[in-house]
Every structure is written in structure tokens, then in C-alpha cells.
């Protein structure tokens, strides 16, 4: 049964991809969705057996690599952490497949699309179930390839090509760090198996553990879109909306978090690595929320929300709260998939319009979609008793409970980010559903709620977004819960859950909720009651900076500058293009011209062939056809031979090594004997 969870999505992908023309579009839908439904049912049984009943399973298939000390097997581990990741991956992937039946109905390449989706799911399952870092790396690279294929699914669009290449190349940077990290793990521990590495971690040098932790973080930063390797994720919105939901909810972006949570026994023994993780996660959450304030593409707003929530998960890892981070990964998967699919429903109904400034007034045309998106947004805001509340607020409180610099930094930025998240979430809802209609009349006349294959996934995800956190909070992060057992490790002096639950002042607990409420109210008021205020910011006299440089008075509108800066995503793309990409291309040109085509070719094949050809021509010139020249060659050769034979008698310090001298004598003798035998 456990291997069936992995194999069924792969079978669906292979059948749909290779014989899709034979089975047809409907057959492809039925095959892939059926395989995923059965896989989801098996995963639910595995969750009960392994997680709730406490009986982890390890399956070793075959030995893969055996080279001296390096022994790697195709081995899979089904423990509490693995089966917990199975639930969002398989449930959401199944619902996205069902949603795609209607959403991609007019696309001529349905079989290829469903094959890629199932392949993506298969590699994610391999990643979370591997029993060593090598099997994990197979799944890691697999989802990278599958994400490239899916983002670039509409390959005739230049922007989709650019986005796919950007995602692939930026993930290469993280994969390089991750590969070096795996090599460092093998060099230090002599193995890549989880059991061996984690048992030996307490006895290793802290500096070496820190280096390994930071290298693993590099891989997680690229996959989970943490600053500064985050700029690929908003661009990946160029793929179809189901792809965006799958990448940003359940699969690709959660891989980095899974790697960090799985490596908790290593990270726990490196305070430096935990500090860096906390700072990066907090900063990412805050910066992404600021960028999300000014985005106008409905999918990009939700994408920046994803980066911001990933920042919360990473900072929870930095605070040694791996169970809370995992719980937020699962909760976030449900309400983020809900947001993306409801956004896709809006786009599909409004003639593929994604700019929220050109929408508005849709509450009367799409009431069900509005309700669903409101549920997802409220869960994202950590509204009390919805799913997001049980993990997001707890992460912020745990930051304060650290009573240290990193914890306070995480608490302050986490609380402010909660307010910013509320602002841009209700900005999206206001401009899409509540404000004055700004789309074409024909788009409103043709708008309609989607079919049953869209309503069912949205309804199921809405139920999970409301109830999942309440039902499972005590199981995952409850006081004294032993659900995760040995899947994670937290040092005793890093446990602050009791402090966060019972000792914090009430204002500290309520501050994130207050900020969220304030952000929501301000957003609704500004965009529904006084939209002219936002326009007047550009003309306000309080808004000007006086610059007297070169004795010239210049007035720069601060609001415009701030808007441009945030809309440019903190200029990360410009910095990369100017200082990294262009310099890298120039360096590559120099290396190609002077090293590859210059030095290496001159020393290598091209140079050797030239040397042999010229040497052959020079030797050929010695063949003059004059008898006296040949007699001169014979005399010179005979003198050299005599010198070699009798040199030890006349020279005290022999210039030629004895072995080489004898070799030349024997070689000359063989030539003479060979010539004599031919003459006879």
C-alpha cells in the first residue's frame, strides 16, 4: 500500500503522456484523477496507521550505489513527518486535477498538461518519502524539471519562456549550495542516511554543523523563495492558474521547508544557522508583504502573499519550532490553493482579465467565488478559529517568547506583516468584487459561475480552510503531543511553547490581530469610501522632498518614489541584471574566448594536431635526396650512440639517467637488428 501511494501518480503520468492520443482527453482526465484519488485514500490510511497509531514504516527496495564507504539504497521512510506532508500534497493535487478539467477544457494539449501535473506530484512524493538525502535529491531535481515544464506549458508566449528559465536557473543556485551541503554531510558523517547522520550530529564539530546548516539553507532559500533568491516566484504566474496553485500551495515551495524540518537534528546544534534562518524568514515575510501592497495582477498579489507566508514558516524553523512550521505549511497549503483557484475562477469568467484595476463589482455576478475568496483571505489573515489562526498567530507569539534579539525581531516584523497582509488581501477583494465596475460590459454579460468540477474543489478547500486548523491543532502543536515522535528533534532548552501559551501579556497576544483588523478596515475604507485620497497623495504638499543640490530646487513626489520602489520589488531584478547577470555574461565571454577557445584548444586537440603536422613537415624536409646529407646523418647518429655507450667512462657526473641511457641503446640496437634481418 505504501509504495502504491508513490507509484499510482507516476503510472497516471506515464499512461497519459505516452498514449494520451489513444485514451483521449476524457480518458486522460479519468486515469490521472482516479490514480490520485486512490493514492489520496491510501495516504489517509497511512496517516492513521503511522501518525495516529504510531507505527512508522521503512521500505528498502534495492541498493543503488556501492562505492567503498558510500552506500546508498532506494529506501523510503514513512514516518509522521512524511505522512503529514502526503495529506496536503495529494489532497490538493487531486482537487487541482479536478479543477483543471473545466479550466483547461479548451486547451488542445490536455493530455500533456495532466501528465506534467501527475509527474510533479510523483516527484514531490519521492522527495518527502526518501529515507536518505540522495533519494530526496532525486525528488528535488524532479520537481525542478516538472516546474519548468509546467510554467512554460504555453511555450509560444515569450514571457512564459522567460519565467520558466528564471525559475530554473535561480533554483540552480540553490541546488549548487545543496549539492555542496550533501557532499559536506558525507565528508563529515560518512553517510547520507537520515538515521546515521542524525544520530551522529550531537558529537560533531559545531563549525562543521553550522556550515552544513547554511548550505542546506541555501537550497531551501531558492526552492522556498526566500530573500535574495525569491524573484523567480512572482514570474512563475505565467503558467496556467492550476499550475500556480500546485506550485505555491502544496509542492514546490514547501520542499525547502520540508528539507529544513527534516534536518532539525542538524540545525539544532548550530545556533548560528538558526539565527540566520530566523533573520532571513522574518525579513522575507516583511519585504514580500510590502511588495504585495502595490501589485495589480490578481495572481501576483497572491504570489507575494505566498512568499510572505513562507517567511513565517522559515522563521518558525529558526525559532526551533519545527512542528509549528510544519503545521503552518499544511494549513497554508489549503487556504492558498483556495485563493489561487478562486482567482482562476475570476480570470476564467472575465475573459482572462487579471488586472484588478479593470475588474470590480463582481460580487453580484460571482457570489459563490466571492464567498470562497473571502474565506481564503480571512484564513490567511489568521482570523480567530479559522485554519490559519492556529499556526500563524502561534508563530508570532513564539517569537516573543524567545526573549532574545532574533525572537523580538521576528515578533515585530511578523506583527507588522500581519497588518500589511490584511491590507493587500482586502485591497484585492475590494477592487475585484466591491468597487465600481471597470471591465467591459460584454465581459460582465458573459460572466458566470463555473461548472461543478470547479465548485466541488473550491467547496472542499473552503471546508479545510475553516476546520482543519481547529480539528488538528492539538495533534500537531498541542501541549505534550507526541504525534511527530522522532521525526523532528528540538533541544530541551529551545522549547518555549508553554511560555508562549501561558506567560505572555494579553496585549502581546492581541497585537497581530489588532494589526490585521486595522489593515482590513483601512483597506476597505480607502478603496470603497475615499479612493480619491490615494490619488491625492501624489499632489500633497506634505509629500515633497526639497533638494538644493547644484543650487536647484527640485520637488520629488515621495509617494511616487515609494510606489515605484515597491512596485519594482525592492529593485532586486535590476540589481541582479546589472551586477550579476551582465557581469556573468561578460565573464563567460572572456572564459569562452580566451580559455576555452584559446588556452585549452591550443594545449588540447587543435594545438596537438598543429604541432604534429608542423613536426612532420620539418622532418620531411630532412629527406633531401643528396647522398652526402644522408652520410652526415649516419655519422651524427653513430657519434651520439658512441657517446651514450661510453659517457660513464669520461663523465664523473652523469647527465643522463642510467635507465634512459640503456633504453636508448637497446632501442637503437633493435632497429639495427631489424634492418639487418630485412636485408638478409
DSSP-derived secondary structure for 26-90: HHHHHHHHHHHHHHHHHHHHHIIIIIIS---EEEEEEEEEEETTEEEEEEEEE-HHHHHHHHHHH
Below-70 pLDDT ranges, the chain: 250, 536-557, 644-680
* Rounded-to-integer distance, Cα 537 and Cα 447, Å: 34
Residue whose C-alpha cell reads 620539418 in the numeric block: 618
Burial class (CB in 10 A: 0-12, 13-18, 19+), 228: middle
Which has the closest alpha carbon to 224: 285, 156, 301, 149? 285
CB atoms inside a 10 Å sphere around CB 403: 9
What DSSP letter does each residue of 490-547 carry, written as one string? --GGG--HHHHHHTS-HHHHHHHHHHHHHHHHHHHHHHHT-HHHHHHGGG-GGGEEEE
- Cα 58 to Cα 676: distance, rounded to the nearest angstrom: 76
Distance CA 472, CA 475 (A): 5
Residues 6+ apart with CB under 8 A from 137: 178, 179, 182
Cα separation of 377 and 301, whole Å? 12
| Backbone phi, psi, residue 440, to 5° | -70, 150
Using the structure block, give the residue that is written with the C-alpha cell 470590480: 360
Cα 250 from Cα 244, distance rounded (Å): 10
Q: What is the pLDDT of residue 463?
A: 93
Closest CA to 115 of 239, 244, 6, 15: 15
The total of other beta-carbon atoms located within 10 Å of residue 475's CB is 16
Instruction: Pick the closest to residue 268 from 190, 213, 323, 199 (CA basis).
Output: 213
Phi (first) and psi of residue 70, to 5 degrees = -90, 110
Among 409, 388, 414, which residue's Cα sits nearest to residue 330? 388
Question: Residue 43 in contact with residue 5, Cβ under 8 Å?
Answer: yes
Q: Which residues pair with 73 in a beta bridge?
A: 63
pTM: 0.84
- Rounded CA-CA distance 519/425 in Å is 9
Say how far apart CA 84 and CA 81 lie, in whole Å: 5
57-67 and 544-547 strand pairing: unpaired
Tens-place pLDDT, residues 128-178? 998 889 899 999 999 888 888 888 888 888 888 888 888 888 888 888 999
CA 464: distance to chain centroid?
A: 25
> Which three three-digit cell numbers place residue 32?
490521472
Cis peptide before 228 (omega within 30 of 0): yes
- Which of 331, 521, 114 shows the shortest CA–CA distance to 339? 331
Cell digits of residue 501: 501559551
**Packed helices 506-528 and 405-429: angle between N→C axes, nearest 10 degrees:** 30
What distance in Å separates the CA atoms of residue 476 and residue 478, rounded to the nearest whole number? 6
77, β-bridge pairs: 58
Locate cell 574566448: which residue? 593
Amino acid at each position: 500500500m505504501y509504495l502504491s501511494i508513490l507509484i499510482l501518480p507516476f503510472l497516471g503520468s506515464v499512461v497519459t503522456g505516452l498514449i494520451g492520443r489513444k485514451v483521449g482527453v476524457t480518458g486522460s482526465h479519468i486515469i490521472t484523477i482516479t490514480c490520485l484519488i486512490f493514492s489520496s485514500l491510501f495516504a489517509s490510511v497511512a496517516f492513521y496507521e503511522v501518525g495516529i497509531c504510531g507505527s512508522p514504516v521503512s521500505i528498502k527496495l534495492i541498493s543503488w550505489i556501492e562505492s567503498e564507504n558510500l552506500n546508498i539504497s532506494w529506501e523510503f521512510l514513512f514516518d509522521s513527518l512524511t505522512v503529514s506532508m502526503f495529506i496536503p500534497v495529494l489532497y490538493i493535487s487531486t482537487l487541482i486535477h479536478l479543477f483543471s478539467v473545466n479550466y483547461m477544457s479548451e486547451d488542445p494539449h490536455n493530455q500533456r498538461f495532466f501528465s506534467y501535473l501527475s509527474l510533479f506530484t510523483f516527484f514531490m512524493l519521492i522527495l518527502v518519502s526518501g529515507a536518505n538525502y540522495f533519494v530526496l535529491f532525486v525528488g528535488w531535481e524532479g520537481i525542478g524539471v516538472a516546474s519548468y515544464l509546467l510554467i512554460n506549458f504555453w511555450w509560444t508566449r515569450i514571457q512564459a519562456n522567460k519565467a520558466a528559465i528564471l525559475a530554473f536557473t535561480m533554483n540552480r543556485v540553490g541546488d549548487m549550495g545543496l549539492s555542496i551541503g550533501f557532499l559536506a554531510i558525507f565528508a563529515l558523517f560518512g553517510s547520507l542516511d537520515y538515521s546515521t547522520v542524525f544520530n551522529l550530529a550531537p558529537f560533531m564539530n559545531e563549525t562543521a554543523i553550522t556550515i552544513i546548516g547554511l548550505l542546506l539553507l541555501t537550497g531551501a532559500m531558492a526552492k522556498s523563495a526566500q530573500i535574495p533568491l525569491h524573484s523567480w516566484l512572482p514570474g512563475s504566474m505565467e503558467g496556467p492558474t492550476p499550475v500556480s496553485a500546485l506550485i505555491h500551495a502544496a509542492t514546490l515551495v514547501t520542499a525547502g521547508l520540508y528539507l529544513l524540518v527534516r534536518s532539525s537534528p542538524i540545525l539544532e546544534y548550530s545556533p548560528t544557522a538558526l539565527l540566520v534562518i530566523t533573520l532571513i524568514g522574518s525579513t522575507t515575510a516583511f519585504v514580500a508583504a510590502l511588495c504585495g501592497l502595490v501589485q495589480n495582477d490578481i495572481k501576483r498579489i497572491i504570489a507575494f502573499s505566498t512568499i510572505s507566508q513562507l517567511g513565517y514558516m522559515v522563521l518558525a524553523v529558526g525559532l526551533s519550532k519545527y512542528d509549528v512550521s510544519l503545521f503552518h505549511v499544511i494549513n497554508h497549503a489549503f487556504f492558498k490553493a483556495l485563493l489561487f483557484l478562486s482567482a482562476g475562477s475570476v480570470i476564467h469568467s472575465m475573459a482572462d482579465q487579471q488586472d484588478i484595476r479593470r475588474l470590480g463589482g463582481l460580487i453580484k455576478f460571482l457570489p459563490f467565488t466571492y464567498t470562497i475568496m473571502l474565506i481564503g483571505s480571512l484564513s490567511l489573515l489568521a482570523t480567530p478559529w479559522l485554519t490559519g489562526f492556529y499556526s500563524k498567530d502561534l508563530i508570532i507569539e513564539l517569537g516573543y517568547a524567545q526573549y532574545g534579539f532574533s525572537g523580538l525581531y521576528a515578533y515585530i516584523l511578523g506583527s507588522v506583516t500581519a497588518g500589511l497582509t490584511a491590507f493587500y488581501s482586502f485591497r484585492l477583494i475590494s477592487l475585484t468584487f466591491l468597487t465600481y465596475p471597470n471591465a467591459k460590459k460584454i465581459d460582465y454579460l458573459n460572466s458566470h459561475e463555473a461548472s461543478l468540477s470547479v465548485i466541488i474543489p473550491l467547496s472542499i478547500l473552503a471546508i479545510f480552510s475553516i476546520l482543519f486548523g481547529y480539528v488538528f491543532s492539538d495533534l500537531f502543536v498541542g501541549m505534550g503531543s507526541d504525534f511527530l515522535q522522532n521525526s523532528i528533534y528540538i533541544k530541551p532548552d529551545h522549547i518555549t511553547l508553554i511560555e508562549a501559551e501561558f506567560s505572555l501579556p494579553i496585549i502581546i497576544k492581541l497585537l497581530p490581530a489588532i494589526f490585521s483588523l486595522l489593515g482590513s478596515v483601512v483597506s476597505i475604507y480607502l478603496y470603497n469610501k475615499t479612493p480619491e485620497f490615494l490619488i491625492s497623495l501624489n499632489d500633497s504638499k506634505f509629500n515633497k522632498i526639497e533638494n538644493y543640490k547644484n543650487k536647484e530646487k527640485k520637488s520629488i513626489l515621495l509617494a511616487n518614489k515609494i510606489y515605484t520602489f515597491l512596485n519594482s520589488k525592492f529593485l532586486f531584478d535590476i540589481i541582479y541584471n546589472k551586477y550579476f547577470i551582465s557581469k556573468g555574461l561578460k565573464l563567460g565571454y572572456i572564459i569562452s574566448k580566451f580559455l576555452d577557445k584559446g588556452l585549452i584548444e591550443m594545449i588540447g586537440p587543435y594545438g596537438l594536431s598543429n604541432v604534429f603536422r608542423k613536426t612532420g613537415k620539418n622532418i620531411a624536409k630532412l629527406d633531401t635526396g643528396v647522398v652526402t646529407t644522408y652520410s652526415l646523418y649516419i655519422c651524427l647518429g653513430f657519434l651520439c650512440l658512441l657517446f651514450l655507450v661510453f659517457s660513464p667512462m669520461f663523465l664523473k657526473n652523469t647527465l643522463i639517467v642510467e635507465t634512459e641511457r640503456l633504453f636508448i641503446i637497446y632501442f637503437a640496437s633493435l632497429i639495427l637488428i631489424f634492418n639487418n634481418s630485412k636485408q638478409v
